[in-house]
Amino acid sequence: MPTDITRAFIQAIPKTDLHVHLDGSLRLQTLVDLAREGGVTLPSYSDEGLRELVFKERYADLGEYLAGFAYTCAVLQTSEGLERVACELAEDNLAEGVRYLEVRFAPQLLAHDGFSMEQTIQAVADGLARAQRAHNTSEAVRTGADLPFECGIIVCAMRRFNKHMGAHYHQLLTALERAPRRDVYAIASLEMARTAVGLRDRLGLPIVGFDLAGEEAGYPAAYHKEAYHYAHSHFLKKTVHAGEAYGPESIFQAITECHTNRIGHGTFVFAADMVQDASVQSPPLYTEQLVEYIASQRITMEVCLTSNLQTTPSIPSVAAHPLRRMLEHNLSVSICTDNRLVSDTTLTDELELVSQNLPVTRHQFRNLVVAGFKGSFFPGSYTAKRAFVRQVSERYDALAARMLTPTEESA
Protein backbone atom coordinates (compact mmCIF):
# COMPACT_ATOMS: atom_id res chain seq x y z
CA MET A 1 0.00 0.00 0.00
CA PRO A 2 2.71 2.63 0.78
CA THR A 3 3.56 4.74 -2.26
CA ASP A 4 6.94 6.07 -3.32
CA ILE A 5 5.85 9.52 -2.09
CA THR A 6 8.65 10.03 0.42
CA ARG A 7 8.80 12.23 3.48
CA ALA A 8 11.53 14.28 1.79
CA PHE A 9 9.19 14.96 -1.12
CA ILE A 10 6.33 15.90 1.21
CA GLN A 11 8.58 18.32 3.06
CA ALA A 12 9.73 19.91 -0.20
CA ILE A 13 6.36 20.52 -1.86
CA PRO A 14 4.30 23.64 -1.16
CA LYS A 15 1.50 22.89 1.30
CA THR A 16 -1.39 24.50 3.14
CA ASP A 17 -2.82 24.25 6.62
CA LEU A 18 -6.38 25.52 6.62
CA HIS A 19 -7.37 24.22 10.05
CA VAL A 20 -4.88 24.92 12.82
CA HIS A 21 -5.77 26.37 16.22
CA LEU A 22 -3.32 28.92 17.56
CA ASP A 23 -3.97 27.97 21.19
CA GLY A 24 -3.31 24.30 20.40
CA SER A 25 -0.10 24.89 18.48
CA LEU A 26 2.43 26.57 20.77
CA ARG A 27 6.02 25.42 21.06
CA LEU A 28 6.43 23.69 24.41
CA GLN A 29 9.30 25.94 25.43
CA THR A 30 7.22 29.00 24.59
CA LEU A 31 4.41 27.69 26.80
CA VAL A 32 6.88 27.33 29.66
CA ASP A 33 8.41 30.77 29.04
CA LEU A 34 5.07 32.54 28.91
CA ALA A 35 3.79 30.67 31.97
CA ARG A 36 6.79 31.79 34.00
CA GLU A 37 6.48 35.37 32.76
CA GLY A 38 2.76 35.50 33.54
CA GLY A 39 2.75 33.56 36.78
CA VAL A 40 0.72 30.68 35.34
CA THR A 41 1.22 27.36 37.13
CA LEU A 42 1.90 24.34 34.91
CA PRO A 43 1.87 20.69 36.02
CA SER A 44 5.46 20.44 34.74
CA TYR A 45 8.07 22.73 33.25
CA SER A 46 9.92 20.16 31.17
CA ASP A 47 9.08 18.84 27.72
CA GLU A 48 9.02 15.28 29.04
CA GLY A 49 6.75 16.14 31.97
CA LEU A 50 4.27 18.10 29.85
CA ARG A 51 4.16 15.28 27.28
CA GLU A 52 3.47 12.76 30.01
CA LEU A 53 0.92 14.75 31.98
CA VAL A 54 -0.86 17.00 29.47
CA PHE A 55 0.01 16.65 25.78
CA LYS A 56 -0.13 12.90 25.26
CA GLU A 57 0.18 10.52 22.35
CA ARG A 58 -3.27 9.11 23.07
CA TYR A 59 -6.18 10.57 25.04
CA ALA A 60 -8.93 8.80 26.91
CA ASP A 61 -11.60 11.07 25.44
CA LEU A 62 -12.22 14.51 23.98
CA GLY A 63 -12.34 16.03 27.46
CA GLU A 64 -8.79 14.92 28.19
CA TYR A 65 -7.69 16.15 24.77
CA LEU A 66 -9.11 19.61 25.53
CA ALA A 67 -7.67 19.84 29.05
CA GLY A 68 -4.38 21.30 27.82
CA PHE A 69 -6.12 24.35 26.41
CA ALA A 70 -6.68 25.63 29.94
CA TYR A 71 -2.90 26.13 30.16
CA THR A 72 -2.33 27.48 26.66
CA CYS A 73 -5.19 29.97 26.84
CA ALA A 74 -3.96 31.16 30.23
CA VAL A 75 -0.62 32.26 28.76
CA LEU A 76 -2.09 33.88 25.63
CA GLN A 77 -3.61 36.93 27.27
CA THR A 78 -1.08 39.58 26.35
CA SER A 79 -0.20 41.18 23.02
CA GLU A 80 3.44 40.12 23.40
CA GLY A 81 2.55 36.49 24.04
CA LEU A 82 0.07 36.26 21.19
CA GLU A 83 2.40 37.97 18.73
CA ARG A 84 5.24 35.64 19.66
CA VAL A 85 3.14 32.49 19.33
CA ALA A 86 1.64 33.59 16.00
CA CYS A 87 5.07 34.41 14.58
CA GLU A 88 6.55 31.10 15.76
CA LEU A 89 3.63 29.14 14.34
CA ALA A 90 4.17 30.79 10.96
CA GLU A 91 7.92 30.10 11.17
CA ASP A 92 7.34 26.44 12.02
CA ASN A 93 5.04 26.09 9.02
CA LEU A 94 7.44 27.89 6.73
CA ALA A 95 10.24 25.56 7.80
CA GLU A 96 8.33 22.51 6.55
CA GLY A 97 7.22 24.00 3.25
CA VAL A 98 3.79 25.40 4.11
CA ARG A 99 3.19 28.38 1.85
CA TYR A 100 -0.40 29.14 2.75
CA LEU A 101 -1.62 29.21 6.36
CA GLU A 102 -4.92 30.05 8.00
CA VAL A 103 -4.62 30.45 11.77
CA ARG A 104 -7.80 30.24 13.82
CA PHE A 105 -8.52 31.19 17.40
CA ALA A 106 -11.33 32.50 19.62
CA PRO A 107 -10.61 36.12 20.67
CA GLN A 108 -13.40 36.01 23.24
CA LEU A 109 -11.56 33.23 25.10
CA LEU A 110 -8.53 35.47 25.57
CA ALA A 111 -10.00 38.95 26.02
CA HIS A 112 -10.27 40.54 29.46
CA ASP A 113 -10.34 43.96 31.09
CA GLY A 114 -7.54 45.94 29.51
CA PHE A 115 -7.14 43.50 26.63
CA SER A 116 -9.89 43.69 24.03
CA MET A 117 -10.89 41.28 21.28
CA GLU A 118 -9.54 43.82 18.79
CA GLN A 119 -6.15 43.76 20.51
CA THR A 120 -5.99 39.95 20.45
CA ILE A 121 -6.61 39.90 16.70
CA GLN A 122 -4.14 42.72 16.06
CA ALA A 123 -1.44 40.88 18.00
CA VAL A 124 -1.93 37.70 15.98
CA ALA A 125 -1.92 39.70 12.75
CA ASP A 126 1.34 41.39 13.80
CA GLY A 127 3.00 38.06 14.57
CA LEU A 128 1.99 36.51 11.25
CA ALA A 129 3.06 39.63 9.37
CA ARG A 130 6.51 39.53 10.98
CA ALA A 131 7.16 36.00 9.74
CA GLN A 132 5.62 36.76 6.37
CA ARG A 133 7.84 39.81 5.81
CA ALA A 134 10.99 37.92 6.71
CA HIS A 135 10.20 35.18 4.21
CA ASN A 136 8.79 37.29 1.39
CA THR A 137 11.76 39.67 1.36
CA SER A 138 14.27 36.80 1.20
CA GLU A 139 16.52 36.35 -1.81
CA ALA A 140 14.90 33.00 -2.62
CA VAL A 141 11.49 34.61 -3.04
CA ARG A 142 12.87 37.65 -4.86
CA THR A 143 14.64 35.44 -7.40
CA GLY A 144 11.72 33.06 -7.85
CA ALA A 145 13.53 30.10 -6.28
CA ASP A 146 10.82 29.89 -3.62
CA LEU A 147 7.15 30.77 -3.37
CA PRO A 148 5.89 33.65 -1.26
CA PHE A 149 4.09 32.94 1.99
CA GLU A 150 0.42 33.91 2.28
CA CYS A 151 -1.62 33.73 5.47
CA GLY A 152 -4.87 34.77 7.07
CA ILE A 153 -6.82 34.70 10.33
CA ILE A 154 -10.04 32.81 11.02
CA VAL A 155 -11.90 34.03 14.10
CA CYS A 156 -13.85 31.43 16.06
CA ALA A 157 -17.11 31.77 17.90
CA MET A 158 -17.97 29.05 20.42
CA ARG A 159 -21.02 26.77 20.27
CA ARG A 160 -21.26 27.00 24.04
CA PHE A 161 -19.29 28.50 26.92
CA ASN A 162 -19.47 29.02 30.65
CA LYS A 163 -18.21 31.57 33.16
CA HIS A 164 -14.95 29.70 33.66
CA MET A 165 -13.88 29.88 30.00
CA GLY A 166 -12.70 33.49 30.09
CA ALA A 167 -13.34 36.91 31.57
CA HIS A 168 -15.29 38.07 28.52
CA TYR A 169 -17.69 35.14 28.76
CA HIS A 170 -17.99 35.59 32.53
CA GLN A 171 -19.05 39.21 32.10
CA LEU A 172 -21.48 38.37 29.32
CA LEU A 173 -23.17 35.55 31.24
CA THR A 174 -23.36 37.70 34.37
CA ALA A 175 -24.96 40.59 32.48
CA LEU A 176 -27.45 38.28 30.75
CA GLU A 177 -27.98 35.90 33.64
CA ARG A 178 -31.72 35.50 33.06
CA ALA A 179 -31.53 35.06 29.30
CA PRO A 180 -31.73 31.56 27.80
CA ARG A 181 -28.23 30.19 27.26
CA ARG A 182 -28.81 29.64 23.55
CA ASP A 183 -29.58 33.37 23.21
CA VAL A 184 -26.39 34.31 25.04
CA TYR A 185 -24.36 32.04 22.76
CA ALA A 186 -26.00 33.68 19.76
CA ILE A 187 -25.27 37.18 21.07
CA ALA A 188 -21.59 36.34 21.60
CA SER A 189 -21.15 34.88 18.12
CA LEU A 190 -22.87 37.84 16.46
CA GLU A 191 -20.59 40.17 18.42
CA MET A 192 -17.61 38.18 17.14
CA ALA A 193 -18.80 38.32 13.53
CA ARG A 194 -19.33 42.09 13.70
CA THR A 195 -15.92 42.61 15.26
CA ALA A 196 -14.23 40.51 12.57
CA VAL A 197 -15.91 42.33 9.69
CA GLY A 198 -15.21 45.71 11.26
CA LEU A 199 -11.51 45.04 11.77
CA ARG A 200 -11.14 43.61 8.29
CA ASP A 201 -12.83 46.60 6.65
CA ARG A 202 -11.62 49.38 8.93
CA LEU A 203 -8.03 48.33 9.62
CA GLY A 204 -7.38 45.96 6.74
CA LEU A 205 -6.44 43.07 9.03
CA PRO A 206 -6.09 39.72 7.22
CA ILE A 207 -9.29 38.23 8.66
CA VAL A 208 -10.34 35.76 6.00
CA GLY A 209 -12.97 33.64 7.69
CA PHE A 210 -15.43 32.98 10.51
CA ASP A 211 -15.68 29.66 12.36
CA LEU A 212 -17.80 27.94 14.98
CA ALA A 213 -15.95 25.63 17.37
CA GLY A 214 -16.63 23.79 20.59
CA GLU A 215 -19.02 21.12 21.82
CA GLU A 216 -21.14 19.94 18.90
CA ALA A 217 -23.76 17.53 20.27
CA GLY A 218 -26.62 19.40 21.88
CA TYR A 219 -25.43 22.81 20.67
CA PRO A 220 -26.54 23.11 17.05
CA ALA A 221 -25.04 25.54 14.59
CA ALA A 222 -28.52 26.96 14.01
CA TYR A 223 -28.20 28.85 17.31
CA HIS A 224 -25.59 30.96 15.54
CA LYS A 225 -27.30 31.52 12.21
CA GLU A 226 -27.66 35.28 12.75
CA ALA A 227 -23.88 35.61 13.16
CA TYR A 228 -23.31 33.53 10.05
CA HIS A 229 -25.87 35.55 8.11
CA TYR A 230 -24.00 38.70 9.13
CA ALA A 231 -20.67 37.21 7.97
CA HIS A 232 -22.29 35.94 4.76
CA SER A 233 -23.89 39.30 3.95
CA HIS A 234 -20.53 41.04 4.48
CA PHE A 235 -18.59 38.67 2.22
CA LEU A 236 -16.64 37.05 5.04
CA LYS A 237 -16.02 33.40 4.17
CA LYS A 238 -17.24 30.73 6.53
CA THR A 239 -16.25 27.38 7.97
CA VAL A 240 -17.95 25.33 10.70
CA HIS A 241 -16.69 22.55 12.94
CA ALA A 242 -19.28 19.93 12.00
CA GLY A 243 -19.53 16.18 11.79
CA GLU A 244 -16.62 15.86 14.22
CA ALA A 245 -18.62 14.48 17.14
CA TYR A 246 -22.08 14.42 15.61
CA GLY A 247 -23.62 13.08 12.42
CA PRO A 248 -24.62 14.24 8.93
CA GLU A 249 -27.38 16.50 10.28
CA SER A 250 -24.74 18.76 11.83
CA ILE A 251 -23.06 19.15 8.44
CA PHE A 252 -26.44 19.71 6.75
CA GLN A 253 -27.19 22.48 9.23
CA ALA A 254 -23.80 24.11 8.67
CA ILE A 255 -24.58 24.27 4.96
CA THR A 256 -28.24 25.30 5.09
CA GLU A 257 -28.27 27.55 8.17
CA CYS A 258 -24.73 28.93 8.11
CA HIS A 259 -23.92 29.12 4.38
CA THR A 260 -20.60 27.46 5.09
CA ASN A 261 -17.87 27.35 2.44
CA ARG A 262 -15.90 24.60 4.20
CA ILE A 263 -16.46 21.93 6.84
CA GLY A 264 -14.10 21.48 9.79
CA HIS A 265 -13.47 17.73 10.14
CA GLY A 266 -16.68 16.25 8.67
CA THR A 267 -15.65 12.92 10.16
CA PHE A 268 -19.17 11.45 10.35
CA VAL A 269 -20.45 12.66 6.99
CA PHE A 270 -21.20 9.06 5.92
CA ALA A 271 -22.77 7.97 9.24
CA ALA A 272 -26.39 7.42 8.20
CA ASP A 273 -26.98 5.54 11.46
CA MET A 274 -26.39 8.79 13.38
CA VAL A 275 -29.28 10.65 11.71
CA GLN A 276 -31.84 11.44 14.43
CA ASP A 277 -34.36 13.66 12.67
CA ALA A 278 -37.59 11.67 12.55
CA SER A 279 -38.70 13.53 9.41
CA VAL A 280 -35.84 11.97 7.45
CA GLN A 281 -37.54 8.96 5.92
CA SER A 282 -34.40 7.35 4.52
CA PRO A 283 -31.17 8.21 6.37
CA PRO A 284 -29.00 6.38 3.78
CA LEU A 285 -30.55 8.41 0.94
CA TYR A 286 -30.28 11.63 2.97
CA THR A 287 -26.59 10.97 3.60
CA GLU A 288 -25.92 10.02 -0.02
CA GLN A 289 -27.53 13.23 -1.26
CA LEU A 290 -25.63 15.30 1.30
CA VAL A 291 -22.30 13.82 0.18
CA GLU A 292 -23.14 14.41 -3.49
CA TYR A 293 -24.08 18.02 -2.74
CA ILE A 294 -20.82 18.62 -0.89
CA ALA A 295 -18.88 17.09 -3.78
CA SER A 296 -20.66 19.04 -6.50
CA GLN A 297 -20.39 22.37 -4.68
CA ARG A 298 -16.71 21.80 -3.87
CA ILE A 299 -17.26 22.43 -0.17
CA THR A 300 -13.81 21.59 1.13
CA MET A 301 -13.47 19.17 4.04
CA GLU A 302 -10.73 20.13 6.52
CA VAL A 303 -9.52 16.67 7.60
CA CYS A 304 -7.29 16.30 10.67
CA LEU A 305 -6.23 12.65 10.89
CA THR A 306 -4.14 12.50 14.07
CA SER A 307 -6.61 14.62 16.01
CA ASN A 308 -9.51 12.39 14.93
CA LEU A 309 -7.63 9.22 15.87
CA GLN A 310 -6.88 10.68 19.30
CA THR A 311 -10.45 11.70 20.09
CA THR A 312 -12.62 9.18 18.24
CA PRO A 313 -12.29 5.61 19.60
CA SER A 314 -14.47 4.27 16.78
CA ILE A 315 -11.68 5.15 14.32
CA PRO A 316 -8.78 2.87 15.28
CA SER A 317 -6.46 3.61 12.34
CA VAL A 318 -5.85 5.84 9.33
CA ALA A 319 -7.07 3.04 7.08
CA ALA A 320 -10.40 3.07 8.96
CA HIS A 321 -10.79 6.86 8.73
CA PRO A 322 -13.57 8.10 6.42
CA LEU A 323 -10.94 10.03 4.44
CA ARG A 324 -10.71 7.01 2.17
CA ARG A 325 -14.42 7.23 1.34
CA MET A 326 -14.17 11.00 0.93
CA LEU A 327 -11.55 10.49 -1.77
CA GLU A 328 -13.58 7.72 -3.41
CA HIS A 329 -16.53 10.17 -3.63
CA ASN A 330 -14.26 12.87 -5.12
CA LEU A 331 -14.82 15.31 -2.27
CA SER A 332 -12.57 18.33 -2.05
CA VAL A 333 -10.32 17.45 0.91
CA SER A 334 -7.51 19.40 2.51
CA ILE A 335 -5.27 17.71 5.08
CA CYS A 336 -4.72 19.82 8.20
CA THR A 337 -3.08 19.54 11.63
CA ASP A 338 -5.82 20.90 13.95
CA ASN A 339 -3.43 21.33 16.91
CA ARG A 340 0.30 20.92 16.38
CA LEU A 341 1.13 20.81 20.09
CA VAL A 342 -1.85 18.92 21.46
CA SER A 343 -1.63 16.28 18.72
CA ASP A 344 2.18 16.42 18.48
CA THR A 345 2.03 16.63 14.70
CA THR A 346 3.06 18.64 11.65
CA LEU A 347 1.58 19.01 8.19
CA THR A 348 4.34 16.75 6.87
CA ASP A 349 3.36 14.10 9.42
CA GLU A 350 -0.29 14.29 8.39
CA LEU A 351 0.41 13.96 4.68
CA GLU A 352 2.82 11.11 5.33
CA LEU A 353 0.02 9.28 7.17
CA VAL A 354 -2.02 9.54 3.97
CA SER A 355 0.76 8.39 1.65
CA GLN A 356 1.72 5.44 3.82
CA ASN A 357 -1.71 4.19 4.92
CA LEU A 358 -4.14 4.81 2.07
CA PRO A 359 -4.10 3.55 -1.52
CA VAL A 360 -3.65 6.99 -3.06
CA THR A 361 -2.18 7.42 -6.52
CA ARG A 362 0.27 10.20 -7.29
CA HIS A 363 -2.51 12.04 -9.09
CA GLN A 364 -4.82 11.76 -6.06
CA PHE A 365 -2.06 12.92 -3.73
CA ARG A 366 -1.39 15.94 -5.93
CA ASN A 367 -5.10 16.78 -5.94
CA LEU A 368 -5.14 16.50 -2.16
CA VAL A 369 -2.31 19.00 -1.80
CA VAL A 370 -3.56 21.47 -4.40
CA ALA A 371 -7.10 21.30 -2.96
CA GLY A 372 -5.83 23.18 0.08
CA PHE A 373 -4.78 26.12 -2.07
CA LYS A 374 -7.97 26.04 -4.14
CA GLY A 375 -10.18 25.81 -1.05
CA SER A 376 -8.33 28.51 0.85
CA PHE A 377 -9.90 31.80 1.93
CA PHE A 378 -7.10 33.62 0.11
CA PRO A 379 -6.87 37.25 1.35
CA GLY A 380 -6.17 38.74 -2.10
CA SER A 381 -8.23 38.93 -5.25
CA TYR A 382 -9.53 35.85 -7.05
CA THR A 383 -7.19 36.65 -9.93
CA ALA A 384 -4.23 36.72 -7.53
CA LYS A 385 -5.39 33.45 -5.97
CA ARG A 386 -5.54 31.72 -9.35
CA ALA A 387 -2.05 32.96 -10.16
CA PHE A 388 -0.80 31.64 -6.82
CA VAL A 389 -2.40 28.23 -7.40
CA ARG A 390 -0.69 28.07 -10.81
CA GLN A 391 2.66 28.82 -9.18
CA VAL A 392 2.02 26.09 -6.62
CA SER A 393 1.06 23.54 -9.29
CA GLU A 394 4.12 24.29 -11.38
CA ARG A 395 6.43 24.00 -8.39
CA TYR A 396 4.78 20.75 -7.28
CA ASP A 397 5.17 19.24 -10.76
CA ALA A 398 8.81 20.31 -11.00
CA LEU A 399 9.60 18.72 -7.64
CA ALA A 400 7.73 15.54 -8.61
CA ALA A 401 9.73 15.26 -11.83
CA ARG A 402 12.98 15.67 -9.92
CA MET A 403 12.29 13.66 -6.75
CA LEU A 404 9.91 10.84 -7.69
CA THR A 405 10.72 7.78 -9.76
CA PRO A 406 9.16 7.95 -13.25
CA THR A 407 6.13 5.68 -13.64
CA GLU A 408 3.58 4.93 -16.32
CA GLU A 409 1.14 7.09 -14.39
CA SER A 410 3.42 10.11 -14.50
CA ALA A 411 4.57 9.57 -18.06
Mean pLDDT by 10 residues, the chain (411 residues): 84 98 98 97 96 89 85 97 98 98 98 96 98 98 97 97 95 96 97 98 97 91 97 98 91 97 97 93 96 98 96 92 96 98 97 96 96 98 98 97 75 41
Full 3-state SS string of the chain: CCCCCCHHHHHHCCEEEEEEEHHHCCCHHHHHHHHHHHCCCCCCCCHHHHHHHCCCCCCCCHHHHHHCHHHHHHHCCCHHHHHHHHHHHHHHHHHCCEEEEEEEECHHHHCECCECHHHHHHHHHHHHHHHHHHHHCCHHHHCCCCCCCEEEEEEEEECCCCHHHCHHHHHHHHHCCCCCHHHHHHHHHHHHHHHHHHHHHHHCCCEEEEEEECCCCCCCHHHHHHHHHHHHHCCCEEEEEECCCCCHHHHHHHHHCCCCCEEEECCCCCCHHHCCCCCCCCHHHHHHHHHHHHHHCCCEEEECHHHHHHHCCCCCCCCCCCHHHHHHCCCCEEECCECCCCCCCCHHHHHHHHHHHCCCCHHHHHHHHHHHHHCCCCCCCHHHHHHHHHHHHHHHHHHHHHHCCCCCCCC
Residue 312's Cβ-side half-sphere holds a number of Cα atoms within 13 Å equal to 22
pLDDT at position 410: 46
Burial of 383 (0-12, 13-18, 19+ CB in 10 A): exposed
Percent residues over pLDDT 70 in the chain: 98
Q: Tell me the per-residue pLDDT of 90-129, one tens digit each, with 9 for 90 and over.
A: 999 999 999 999 999 999 999 999 999 999 999 999 999 9
Q: What angle do CA 103, 105, 109 make, to 5 degrees?
A: 165
Query: Which pTM value belongs to this model?
Result: 0.96
Per annotation, catalytic residue among 83, 102, 216, 244: 244
List the one residue out of 11, 15, 13, 20 whose CA is nearest residue 340: 20
Cα 196 to Cα 155: distance, rounded to the nearest angstrom: 7
Q: Tell me the per-residue pLDDT of 134-184, one tens digit each, with 9 for 90 and over.
A: 999 999 999 999 999 999 999 999 999 999 999 999 999 999 999 999 999
Q: Which residues are paired to 115 by β-bridges?
A: 112
Asked if 86 contacts 127 with a C-beta cutoff of 8 angstroms, the reply is yes
Domains along the chain? 7-403 (3.20.20.140)
Asked if 355 contacts 2 with a C-beta cutoff of 8 angstroms, the reply is yes
Assess whether 244 carries a catalytic annotation: yes
